[in-house]
Amino acid sequence: MRAEAATLYHEAQRAVEVDDFQQGLRLLRRAANLDPESAELADAMGALLAEYGSRDDARAELLRAVQLAPDVGHEKYMCVCTLVWKLLLCSRSGLVPSKHWAAAH
């Protein structure tokens, strides 16, 4: 990871540690713009988006992380499985995800 992107990545981690998820996402996006080939950044952004952002954006970032480094790390696969599992549970039980959950995931 490029030095400037790494600095932003660490700032994003600190923001998330104090529950400032929006700032964490902003910093990760800036870092990814500086180093678009970083699987670590795509993985981190996908994981954060899976919890606090858009499901479609999360899926796109996680798939990008898989394309960049399919054999490195496991979080991207766990996040994708979690997204699919939640939707499967809802569909099997006849439930529709709440508007809040659907918007966030």
DSSP class of 53 = S
Report CA torsion sign: 65, 16, 35, 40. Answer: negative
pLDDT band at 91 (very low <50, low <70, confident <90, very high): low
Candidates 1.25.40.10, 3.30.70.330, 1.10.357.10, 3.80.30.10; CATH matching 3-104: 1.25.40.10
Say what the pTM is: 0.72
Find the mean pLDDT for residues 68-72: 85
Percent of the chain at pLDDT exceeding 90: 40
Nearest CA among 78, 83, 75 for reference residue 59: 83
Nearest CA among 61, 17, 56 for reference residue 39: 61
Find the mean pLDDT for residues 77-94: 68
